[in-house]
């Protein structure tokens, strides 16, 4: 008999609790064992019912979703799916929740009380299935935000001749909050990142990483010049590619809405392929936690053309799908724990510089 995964539904709206419960109970393999109307009730229910998965509203009275998530992940870790109304501060809170260990989020389509929640049924079902694959050892560690080093003044940006390209999906915001702030401000390469995430949330993620990082971090814009010591985050809903600049100008970012790859847009494989065309063997490809196989064929091309590869290890990956596929298809110079990814990037860039 197929195991039924138990779910605790937490939302301050009785209507939303009812709708979410009905949607989950209609999904084969999942059953709602209880509900809670705020974070305090949620903590009591987690201890009493021991659900496999928790769906957690962000904005609630008494104890909000972020505070409740912190307690859950520190005391009784389990997969948590955030339900966010989206927009403004809610997007920022969603990013923080993902850093703290939430495995996925579903955006309520029309505010805190969404009468049309049915329109995101597929996203909720996908998030539930992702939650069943989570490696709790990989999410048990809370992100430890690093503070950016004080700037020593403005520097003249140089057109990039080397690039680090990074792929991330489920668990990625938490992983990026560990990796990007640990990179030095004199990295000597551009960093281009694809995180599977819809429009809107990538703006908040870029701003959050920028606050934490010595490197400048921005959401990518079409036609933007690619320079060293700058991190470019792909905009939600757009593929991001690198393109050679005209007449000796720096390479540039190109964004487009061509068909999804591996069912997602942005996808990492188009970025990885374009990086090879622009930067040749001066590319370090990095595949972090996530479901699926995005980044695998791109990393293979990078290494076939003389570039170098890093994949996150199983123990620290929220979901090992993408790193596992990348290593199987492409191999890698380094298979490392999340906390060692940044140092490995610096090491491989230094090794390549030493052989130049």
Tell me whether residue 196 is one of the annotated catalytic residues. Answer: yes
Write out pLDDT tens, residues 203-231: 999 999 999 999 999 999 999 999 999 99
Sheet with 80-84: list strands edge to edge.
Answer: 30-36, 5-10, 53-57, 80-84, 104-107
User: Mutual orientation of helices 121-131 and 14-25 as an angle, nearest 10°?
Assistant: 70
Residue in 196, 230, 239, 327 annotated catalytic: 196
Residues 220, 251 contacting (CB under 8 angstroms):
no
Provide the β-strand partners of residue 261: 264
As a whole number of Å, the end-to-end CA separation of the chain is 59
What are the extents of the domains in the chain? 5-132, 163-355
Q: How confident is the model at residue 354 (pLDDT cuts 50, 70, 90)?
A: low
pLDDT tops 70 at residue 108: yes
Annotated active-site residue in 269, 294, 313, 340: 294
pLDDT digits (tens, 9 = 90+) for 165-191: 999 999 999 999 999 999 999 999 999
Categorize the per-residue pLDDT at 352 as very low, low, confident or very high, splitting at 50, 70 and 90: low
Predicted confidence (pLDDT) at residue 154 exceeds the cutoff of 80: no
Per-residue pLDDT tens for 305-332?
999 999 999 999 999 999 999 999 999 9
Is residue 88 very low, low, confident or very high in pLDDT (cuts 50, 70, 90)? Answer: low
Euclidean distance between CA atoms 6 and 195, whole angstroms:
29
Cut 0.85: pTM above it:
yes
What average pLDDT does the structure give for the chain? 90
**pLDDT of res. 163:** 98
Same fold, 5-132 and 163-355: yes
Catalytic residue among 84, 114, 169, 344: 169
- Classify domain 5-132 at the CATH superfamily level: Response regulator (3.40.50.2300)
163-355: CATH class: alpha beta
In percent, how much of the chain has pLDDT > 90? 76
Is 169 an active-site residue? yes
């Amino acid at each position: 008999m197929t195991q039924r995964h138990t779910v605790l539904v937490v939302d301050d709206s009785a209507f939303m609790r009812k709708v979410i419960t009905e949607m989950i109970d209609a999904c084969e393999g999942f059953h709602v064992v209880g509900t809670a109307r705020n974070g305090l009730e949620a903590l009591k229910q987690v201890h009493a019912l021991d659900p496999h998965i928790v769906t957690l509203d962000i904005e609630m009275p008494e104890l909000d979703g972020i505070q409740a998530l912190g307690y859950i992940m520190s005391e009784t870790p389990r997969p948590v799916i955030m339900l966010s109304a989206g927009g403004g501060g809610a997007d920022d809170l969603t990013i923080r929740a993902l850093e703290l260990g939430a495995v996925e989020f579903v955006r309520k389509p029309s505010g805190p009380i969404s009468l049309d929640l049915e329109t995101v049924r597929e996203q909720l079902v996908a998030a539930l299935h992702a939650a069943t694959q989570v490696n709790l050892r990989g999410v048990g560690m809370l992100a430890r935000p690093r503070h950016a080093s004080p700037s020593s003044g403005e520097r003249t940006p140089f057109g990039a001749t080397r690039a680090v390209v990074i792929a991330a999906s489920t668990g990625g915001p938490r992983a990026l909050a560990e990796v990007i702030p640990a990179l030095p401000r004199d990295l000597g390469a551009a960093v281009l990142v694809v995180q599977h995430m819809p429009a809107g949330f990538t703006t908040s993620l870029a701003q959050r990483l920028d606050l934490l990082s010595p490197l400048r971090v921005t959401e990518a814009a079409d036609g933007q010049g690619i320079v060293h010591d700058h991190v470019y985050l792909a905009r939600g809903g757009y593929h991001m590619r690198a393109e050679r600049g005209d007449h000796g100008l720096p390479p540039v970012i190109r964004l487009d809405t061509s068909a999804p790859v591996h069912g997602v847009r942005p996808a990492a494989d188009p970025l990885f392929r374009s990086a090879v065309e622009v930067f040749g063997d001066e590319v370090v490809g990095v595949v972090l936690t996530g479901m699926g196989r995005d980044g695998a064929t791109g990393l293979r091309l990078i290494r076939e053309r003389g570039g170098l590869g890093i994949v996150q290890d199983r123990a620290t990956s929220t979901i090992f799908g993408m790193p596992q596929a990348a290593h199987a298809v492409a191999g890698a110079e380094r298979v490392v724990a999340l906390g060692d990814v940044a140092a490995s990037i610096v090491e491989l860039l230094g090794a390549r510089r030493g052989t130049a």
